[in-house]
Structure 1
Amino acid sequence: MEGVCAMEKGLNNSKRRLLELADFFKKYTDEEHTYSAVEICDFLAQKGIVAERKAIYSDIEALQESGYDILCSRGSNKGFFLADRDFQEAEARLMIDAIQTARFITAKKSNELVEKISGLLSKPVAEQMMEKIYINSANKGKNEEVYYNIDLLYKAICEKKQVSFFYYHHYVAKDLSIKMTERSFAVSPYALIWSNDHYYLVSNNNRYDNLMHTRIDRIKKVHILDRPIRPFSEVCEYRDTFDSADYEKKLFNMFSGTEQKVTMRCANSILEEIFDRFGDNTAIVSRNADNFTVTADVITGEGFISWVMQYGGRIEILAPQELRESVCHRVQDLLYLYRDK
């Protein structure tokens, strides 16, 4: 009986040693931070695990057979290290940068996410990276429900169920203080779109025959209703699948409007900006030494007009005529606003 207990104890010790060793390689090693078998034994001893170098070599071989890319450096920095990870430093950096700039994620959630992602790297690399990370809470949302709401909205979209929620926005009171007001909605949700560092719900307000966009960081008290969504084919051009990527490409600053084929004459100096906005397959119908003419399918609302006007005289709307007139009216409004009084 004592022999059986001793065997079980030794087996448990081997399992624990292997788990601690796997965790050690993930947390503390990389190409710049390698460890010898003796140093690994010292680390395990601090965890109360006694191991000899022979056992370490055997465990490393077992981890390698299980898929761990553990290598042994033969240069001046001799020792074992984990060479390949699920995420490399550059990949983790990209995700952290996205979290930093995402305004809909609160400062608290941003810090939690950054900490989780940094845990995918070795501790020395993560500590070096964290020294350069700053979360500006002034530019972050304050709605701590945002994670929960995203989960509920995504579930409703998958189940094709309507949702209800309250939408909050600021207003200036008579005493000049900034206050919040709320409005309730019941909508058919179709897609979640990340645009301009904000997250939006694309849906249909059951009272109208179009699409609406609501910022998720301003949504609270989401509830999934036991009612099927209105088919999106009744309120937009899509039939079988709501193509959120195609839809977002046509939008400008998430403003709604009417989809139209627009012809624009653009200065050659903004060719890159046009390609960035409409893609490398943008149809150029003519060009000369000063400008080029393109056509594109866009949603021509207030967002598109504002986008055109930021380029001043470098973009001219040629067609459709009603859009050209809308831009002219906006210019006239500006002239009136800035006239000498």
Structure 2
Amino acid sequence: MANNTSVKLKILYIMDILLEKTDEENYITVNDIITELKRHNISAERKSVYSDIELLKFYGLDIICEKGRSNKYFIASRDFELAELKLLVDSVQSSKFITHKKSNELIKKLEKLTSSSQAKELDRHVIVRDRVKTSNERIFYNVDRLHRAIHENKQVSFKYFDYDLNKKIEFRRNGNRYTLSPYALTWSNEHYYLISYYERYNDISNFRVDRMMDINILEKDRYLIEGYEEFNVAEYSRKIFNMYIGELETVQLEFHNSLINVVIDKFGQDIIIRKQSDDSFKIKVEVEISNTFLGWLFMFGNKVKIISPQKLKDNMKKTVKEVINLY
């Protein structure tokens, strides 16, 4: 390597060495840095290394020096703390919509944001995770393309699939494309969903992003429903269950006191809660009535009761009878 080039690169290599080799518990001396530089075919004197370290501190790198017979240096703070990286790694590894391959790629990138020693802690942190994940490698590109279509105010078209009993992809509508106006992406029940306007139904429709294939952004502008500017994705998502759309109703429900956390988790802390009896409370909430909503109520057995409307109570009775008849 030419001497002039080596001089220019030296400070960058020193920065890399400090970032990779040091943290609050791992230090490095100037002699160590000189040894590491030799591995890159760069020779350096102690004085020049001291000078480069001071320049890196002036640049903004949080380098701490512990004075002693041989000064020790380490990076004291970074863009991400180790606890924050563990949180991000945990989120990546536990997300069903991210494939195993993409999870590993992302985690390797996150590991580069800390020292090699602390990166090993991230490795150990990941090992405990072994859960079902999507096999659809396209989902990252699907998300990116849908966000771009929304940003550019364009319609999209795509193919939509299910799995058959042999776990093979089977396209809906014989492989004919869906064309719609994308409004927003939302996360529900560990899956990404596209909220959109679908002209075929003249209404809002939801689609699983990991079940989409061959997404195209069209030249045609999106169709925006009346009141689109006031459309609130979070509020919309609270009213539906597992993204299954139904008829919007105001529902009164009575819950056992032990389910207070479940209710707040589902409907948020703004939900008005009224005492019904010594061991129960009631709420009034707008939800879209669907089989998934009834299934959600089923989860709690006799600890939840429908107060109104009557047609929902009748629907629940009918569903209960159908389930009983199965056995």
Q: TM-score, normalised by structure 1?
A: 0.88
User: Post-superposition shift, 1:258?
Assistant: 2.5
Amino acid at match of 1:326: N
Which one is further off, 316-325 or 69-78? 69-78
1:242 corresponds to which residue? 231
1:207-226 per-residue CA deviation (whole Å, 9 max, x = no partner) reads 11222221111111111112
Contact preservation (8 Å) 1:285, 1:295: no
1:25 corresponds to which residue? 18
Aligned pairs for 1:75-94 (under 5 A) are 79-94=72-87
Find the partner of 2:252 among 263, 270, 274: 263
Aligned to 2:228, what secondary structure does the other structure show?
Answer: coil
2:56 corresponds to which residue? 63
RMSD: 2.3
Q: TM-score, normalised by structure 2?
A: 0.91
Find the partner of 2:271 among 258, 275, 282: 282
Contact preservation (8 Å) 2:86, 2:125: no
Contact preservation (8 Å) 2:143, 2:209: yes
Contact preservation (8 Å) 1:286, 1:294: no
User: Post-superposition shift, 1:251?
Assistant: 2.4
Amino acid at match of 1:52: E
1:252 corresponds to which residue? 241
Contact preservation (8 Å) 1:257, 1:299: yes
Rounded to whole Å, the distance in 2 between the matches of 1:323 and 1:210 is 23
1:305 corresponds to which residue? 294
Rounded to whole Å, the distance in 1 between the matches of 2:234 and 2:65 is 45
Matched, 1:330 2:319: yes
Matched, 1:50 2:43: yes
1:221 corresponds to which residue? 214
User: Post-superposition shift, 1:74?
Assistant: 5.5
1:164 corresponds to which residue? 157
Matched, 1:103 2:93: no
1:320 corresponds to which residue? 309
Amino acid at match of 1:278: F
Rounded to whole Å, the distance in 2 between the matches of 1:318 and 1:76 is 78
Aligned to 1:232, what secondary structure does the other structure show?
Answer: coil
Rounded to whole Å, the distance in 2 between the matches of 1:76 and 1:146 is 55
Amino acid at match of 1:72: C
Rounded to whole Å, the distance in 1 between the matches of 2:294 and 2:48 is 70
Aligned to 1:252, what secondary structure does the other structure show?
Answer: coil
2:281 corresponds to which residue? 292
Rounded to whole Å, the distance in 1 between the matches of 2:250 and 2:277 is 22
Q: Between Structure 1 and Structure 2, how many residues are aligned?
A: 322
Amino acid at match of 1:94: L
1:267-296 per-residue CA deviation (whole Å, 9 max, x = no partner) reads 011111111111222101334311011122
Rounded to whole Å, the distance in 2 between the matches of 1:55 and 1:315 is 73
Runs of at least 5 residues in structure 2 that lack an aligned partner in the other structure: none
Contact preservation (8 Å) 2:158, 2:212: yes
Distance verdict in 2 for CA 1:77–1:153, change over 3 Å: farther
User: Post-superposition shift, 1:16?
Assistant: 0.8
Aligned to 1:95, what secondary structure does the other structure show?
Answer: helix
Aligned to 2:103, what secondary structure does the other structure show?
Answer: helix
Find the partner of 1:203 among 196, 202, 206: 196
Distance verdict in 2 for CA 1:77–1:291, change over 3 Å: farther
Distance verdict in 2 for CA 1:26–1:249, change over 3 Å: farther
Rounded to whole Å, the distance in 2 between the matches of 1:76 and 1:18 is 24
Rounded to whole Å, the distance in 2 between the matches of 1:288 and 1:137 is 43
Find the partner of 1:116 among 109, 113, 127: 109
2:33 corresponds to which residue? 40
